[in-house]
Amino acid sequence: MANEVGKNLNLKPDYLAEEELRRAIELFFFAYRDFTGIADSLLTDFGFGRAHHRVIYFVGAHPGMTVSELLGILKITKQSLSRVLRLLILEDFVLQHTDDLDRRRRLLYLTAKGADLEKRLTHRQSQWIATAYSEAGSNAVKGFSAVLRCIINEKDRKSVESRWTTSSAAE
C-alpha cells in the first residue's frame, strides 16, 4: 500500500503531460497570431506596428498614465518607447503633458484621432474574443481567464488585476 501511494505522488495529471503542454503552446501561438493579425491590417494603413498598438491601447485604457508606468507595463527600453511615442505624438495620436504637481512626470493621453484608432482596434479584437467566448461557453471563459492570469508572472499579477479593479470602480 505504501508503495502505491508513493507511485501516485509521481504521477502528473494528464493536462501536465508534455504533449498537452506542447498543444497549449501551439494553440497560444496560433491564437496570438490571429488575434494580433486582425489589428495588424488596420495598423498597417497608418504605418504602425504592434508596439504602436500597445501604446495606443494602454494610453486609451488608462488616460493620464505616466511614461514610467507605460514602460513598466510594456517592459521595453526607454529608447524603444521614445521612438514609438515620438511618431504617435508627431502624427497627432497621443498628447504628452507635464504633470503640474511633479514637472519630471510626463502624462499621456490619446487625441481624438488616437481615441478613434484605439476604438476601432479594440472593437475588432473585442469582436474576435466575443465570438470565441460565445463558441466556448461561460465555464470555458472563466477557466481561460484563470489560465491567462496564471501565465502572467507572479510579480505583475496583482498590478494587472488592480488596473481592472481601478478602472471598474471609476466607471
- Dihedrals phi, psi of 106, to nearest 5 degrees: -110, 125
- Dihedrals phi, psi of 30, to nearest 5 degrees: -70, -40
Residue 1 reports pLDDT greater than 50: no
Residue 10 is assigned to a structural domain of this protein: no
The residue that leads in pLDDT, 157 or 81, is 81
Kindly report the CA angle at 101 between 162 and 59, in degrees rounded to 5?
A: 40
Residue 167 is assigned to a structural domain of this protein: no
Residue 7 is assigned to a structural domain of this protein: no
User: pLDDT digit string (tens) for 116-141?
Assistant: 999 999 999 999 999 999 999 999 99
Residue 166 is assigned to a structural domain of this protein: no
Residue 67 is assigned to a structural domain of this protein: yes
Residue 166: per-residue pLDDT: 54
Confidence of residue 5 (pLDDT cuts 50, 70, 90): very low
Residue 5 is assigned to a structural domain of this protein: no
User: pLDDT digit string (tens) for 61-104?
Assistant: 999 999 999 999 999 999 999 999 999 999 999 999 988 888 88
For the chain, give the mean pLDDT. 89
Q: How many domains does the chain contain in total?
A: 1
Q: What's the mean pLDDT in 39-47?
A: 96
Residue 40: give the domain boundaries.
Answer: 16-136
Residue 72 is assigned to a structural domain of this protein: yes
Residue 130, domain CATH: 1.10.10.10
Q: Is the pTM of this model over 0.85?
A: no
Residue 80 is assigned to a structural domain of this protein: yes
